[in-house]
Structures are given as structure tokens and as C-alpha cells.
Structure 1
């Protein structure tokens, strides 16, 4: 059976608040495909095997960045050397950074699914528009956005919010930036001690970093675009070793927002196919697409498969619409640190 196969995570925050979501998606999809709820990694493996045997044309994922990366990890393991079908990110999570970065239109999952069905039915006359991006393989997981240190600290603080959402994420960033500018401590300024070996030879030296960050999409959240070179060279991810102080980084946020380099005095950067992270304490704490992980021993990163993502906007155009956060230029007043 060809058609659209939709995976939904009923344990996500949004779907726990809205348990009727799976029924609405099923009614919206009708006889154009199938909706399956994945409550565990084992469920996901079975769903992936079923969808592979059914030869679905499109894989829809209802959830945010975390659901997307867990679903893609499970499907890539099952499909192995067989290419995945085009991916439709249907949103529905508290964080939808990857969807925003590649140009997926805003909307609720059932509305986006209805629009996808309409386009799917016209695909012989007007093919579905898509962009292609590599995923990164981080240990045994696949995703698009990686970070240690301050990024790990930011996400840990963000998840303490009673209702995590983009407004709360902006509040956490504003409060942390204010604390840094005023010389007050903040857990968001957590640092990372270690080294990174890139492509077997080049090294980000062992030292204290604000964070190590990497991406195959340009954005990291709230419209900030540190990975401005992602996609410039096929098969590589953009990796940064940000070694400036927290104050120095806050003062460079306008450049990050505008997708400009921070400068060698603030960060090392490289387009890499492979990287190995090692820490002094032997444990790498990191974030992958919004999910917090911990890995004992050296952590290996590499370029993963290239996937097709169905979008409404053309490739290379920054998505418009939805909630936006104008950049407060007062954060950056003063000389660089």
C-alpha cells in the first residue's frame, strides 16, 4: 500500500494535553494512509518495519524536534541502506526548530496534514516540493542540531519551565543574558572542558569552552543561525568550538542572529565529516534536537544519510509567519570581550 504513513508520539507534552490528537489525524488522513502511535522504541521499530513493507510514499511525523530525531533514528535503523521516503514534519511539539530552519509552514498537525494530502493528490501534476539535508550520527542517534556546555545548560533550565514553549525559551535566554551582563551567575553559562578531533587530524585543542555546537541546518532556535555554513559542502556538518566568555558570547548574539561569523577570537569552526569529542571527566553531556543525553567515553559524530523534507517555502528562504522575536540590540551594547 502506497500513501502517507504518520507516526505520532502520544507521550509528548502536547499530545498528553491533547489525547484526541491521534483520532483527529486518523480522520484527516482517511484512506490516504495510516496513523500509528509509538509509545516506545520497540513500537517505533515495528511501525518502521510495517511502513517499509507497505512502501509508504511519505513519512509524516507529528511532534517536535525530539520526536523527529527519535523517529528518524528508529526508521534509519530499520530501513538500513534503503532510502527513507520524503519526510513531512507536522509540528505539534514544544520545539520545532528544524521545521522552522528548512521552511516547513506553520500550523497545527491536522491542518498541515490536510494541506499535505491535498498536495499529495496533485503530485502527478505538480510534484511535492522538498529540500534535502543530511542528518548527523551522534553515537547511536541521528539528528540535525547538537550542543554541549551552555547549550546543555540552557535546555536543562528551559525544561524546568512548567510549560516549555518558545515564549519561555526566549524568557530563559533573556534572563540568562541579563545575568551575564550584570555579572551574576547563571546555570545557562555552563561550560565544557575537553577537545575535539576533526576528520582524524585537525583539532579543537583541549581547553575550556562555552560549548561545542554542530548542525546540518542553520538555526539553533529562536531564529538564531550559528551554523551559517551548513549545506555549503555536501556531506559535511558545521561545527563550532565557542571558547569566548559568556559575556563575549552575549555581545556576539547579533552576529549569530544575522548568520555572521563570530570571529576567531571567539570561536573555532570547521566543516567536518567526522569528529570525536573527549572530556576530562570522561562523560559528554549534550543535547541533540532538544533531547538531553549523556555519553560515557569519547563521543563520535559523523555525517549521516541525506533525507528529503517536504516544505512549502523554497530552499534557502528563511520561513516567514508565525511567532517571531525581534532581536533586542541593547544586549550587545559595549565593546567585545
Structure 2
């Protein structure tokens, strides 16, 4: 069986309670190596060391941001000639990647992985997924991850971290509380602007507002959008198991835009999040398709797997997904 290296972020939400159980589990697994981060900036050197030791499985005990930093180091720095298998242990506040392609359970999944007897068992548990490559984040080299979100998604993350995460509500519940509260309040006011809605309405309106974005799919002519939400992903399921993308076709990843103001969003909400491939949504408000390359000309900040970025002034944000990674789902 391939040797396993574990990268642990002690600042990830579930790891803040202590690493005793994890440390004991790894002490009982002589084939495992354990690296505890002082900073995510340590990840490139840790991976280079794992590669020198011929470690074939890299387990990531952290949240989505730790996974994003690991993917960026693996695919940006290329310490491995042949990419290792990845095992995502859900230890963060938000574990969207782990919920879709990570180990089942928290440390129990890692225990099952360490107990695997041979490589045949690992092959049967392997999922291969495309990885987003993002160019032109301000002041950053190309970044790699699984989920890109902009416009109200970015603003909702800020609100969630400020108002909901301090309550230590479960991650999926926290996202639902934040988004449902924002959207519900806006709908109850009939979408009125903040001038008519008071201070709370002003805060809501700042989140639920439109951003002017130009999007060009696969070098086609750009479309001008006024978007409430934009997202792109190689994941199959997002928060609460939702699938807010439809229309098949060709392309390595999916892109969705919801216009502002969205047409009858309350009526279409379930179909938008959980509908079948052909959802019969109004095309003026709801756009979804696959692509191999997307160029986004925009001023609004954005997120990649929960990490926050701003676009490089004067340059479009470029999304592609030419690289693949192998994830273990045990």
C-alpha cells in the first residue's frame, strides 16, 4: 500500500478542539507521516518533502481553504512527477469539497484509509475530478480549487463569518441560515430598495444587489450580465447537497449566473437548486452551461473554496480546468 502523508491545519474549526485523537491514530500507523501547519505557506515545502519520501497519498485534515492551498501547491509547483491520491478529511467550518469527494466521516474516514490493505481497494475508491485554474487574482500566482463564486456569494460569506460562524452552528446550517435569512427578508419586503427598508434592509440590499460582469465562454463574444450570483465548479454537489447548474453539453466545468433582480426566485428556488438537467427556467434570469474556458471582466471580489480574492485591475479573471486530481472517497 502507498505511504500516507497527513497535512493538518490546527486552525481549522474541528481541529481547534485539539489534535490528540488524530495524533494517536497516526502514531499507531507506522506508514503515515504527519505535518502540522504553522501556516498554509508551509504546504509547498511539505509536499516537496512528501514527494522525496515517495508518499503516494496526501490526506488533508482541514477545511476547503486548506484543500485549495494544497491543490495550488500541487498543480502550481508540481513537486510530484505523478500526482498523488488526495484524501480530504472534513475538519473545517465549511467542508463543501469533503462532502462531495472527501472521506466519509471525520477521523473515522482517515482510520478506514489507514487500514486499507492493498492498492486494489484504493483504486475502487478513487474519484477523478477536474480542478479549476484561476488566473489574475490580484497579486497572486494562478490559484487552483474546486468552487468559484462571485457577487452576492462573496458578500454572503462575509456576512456569514461575521454573524453566524461565531455561534458555532454547523457549517451547512450556517450557510443556510445566512442565505435564507437574507433572501427571505428581501422577499418579504418585495425586493424594495434600502431607502424604503431601514437599516436592516440596507444591509440586505448591499448583499442582494447586481454586479456588472462580462463573461466570454470559450473565446466566444462576451455577454454582458447584471448578476446577483455567479459560480463555477467541478464539484457535483454544493452546500446542502444542492446542484444549481443544468444544461449538459461539452466542457470541463459548470458555470451558473442568476440575474439581478431574479425573476420569481421564490417560485423557482427548489427547481434551481435540486431540479433535473432540463429545468425550464426563464433564460433572462437564469443562465447555466458547461465550458472549458471562461473570461470574466468584473470589479467585484470573489471566492475560491472560501478564500477571498480581488480581480487584477484591467485584466479578466480566467477560469480553466485542464488538470485533474484523484480523490479517495472511503
Normalising by structure 2, report the TM-score. 0.83
* Segments of 4+ moved more than 6 angstroms: none
1:181 to 161, 182, 187: 187
| 1:155 has 2:157 as partner | yes
Q: What residue is the counterpart of 1:268 in the other structure?
A: 287
- Correspondent of 1:195 among 204, 209, 214: 214
Of residues 168, 176, 186, the one that matches 1:170 is: 176
Deviation at 1:268, TM superposition (A): 2.3
| CA shift for structure 1 position 37 | 1.6
What pairs up with 1:101-140 in 2 under 5 angstroms? 101-102=100-101, 104-108=102-106, 110-119=107-116, 121-124=117-120, 127-139=123-135, 140=142
Instruction: Assess if the C-alpha contact under 8 Å between 2:151 and 2:300 holds in 1.
Output: no
- Alpha-carbon distance in 2 for matches of 1:247, 1:199: 27
Structure 2 equivalent of residue 334 of structure 1: none
Distance 1:18 1:125 in 2: 31
Distance 2:156 2:254 in 1: 20
1:11 aligns with: 11
Local SS of the residue matching 1:46: helix
- Tell me, in whole angstroms, the C-alpha distance in 2 between the residues paired with 1:59 and 1:192: 38
- Counterpart CA distance in 2 for 1:246 and 1:56 is 49
Question: How many angstroms apart in 1 are the aligned matches of 2:275 and 2:305?
Answer: 19
Counterpart position of 2:138: none
Q: Report if aligned partners of 2:84, 2:326 keep a CA contact under 8 Å in 1.
A: yes
Deviations 1:192-211 (A, max 9, x none): 21211221114222x42112
Asked whether 1:204 is paired with 2:206, we answer no
2:121 and 2:146 map into 1 onto residues whose CA distance is 32
Contact 1:180/1:246 (8 A) holds in 2: no
State the match for 2:31 in structure 1: 32
- Counterparts of 1:190 and 1:16 in 2: how far apart (Å)? 35
Q: Does the aligned pair in 1 maintain the 2:242–2:274 contact within 8 Å?
A: yes
Pairing 1:311–2:329 present: yes
Corresponding position: 1:253 with 2:269 = yes
Instruction: Tell me how far 1:71 sits from its aligned partner.
Output: 1.2
**Structure with greater helix percent:** 2
The answer on whether the counterparts of 2:134 and 2:317 sit within 8 Å (CA) in structure 1 is: yes
State the match for 2:193 in structure 1. Answer: none
User: Given the superposition, is the C-alpha separation of residues 58 and 268 from structure 1 closer, same or farther in structure 2, using an over 3 Å criterion?
Assistant: same
Aligned alpha-carbon RMSD (Å): 2.5
CA distance in 1, matches of 2:120, 2:262: 52
CA deviation map 1:28-79 (0-9, x unaligned): 5x21220112222441111010111122121111112111111111122232
Q: What's the CA shift for 1:141?
A: 0.9
Larger CA deviation: 33-42 vs 52-61: 33-42
Q: Which runs of 5+ in 2 are unaligned?
A: 136-141, 190-196
Give unpaired runs (5+ residues) of structure 1: 313-337
Cα shift readout 1:8-37 (whole Å, capped 9, x = no counterpart):
112223323325465245325x21220112
How far does residue 153 in structure 1 lie from its aligned partner after superposition?
A: 1.6
TM-score between the two structures when normalised by the length of structure 1: 0.81
Instruction: Give the Cα separation in 2 of the matches to 1:249 and 1:293.
Output: 28
Q: Distance in 1 between matches of 2:129 and 2:275?
A: 18
Q: CA deviation at 1:98?
A: 1.9
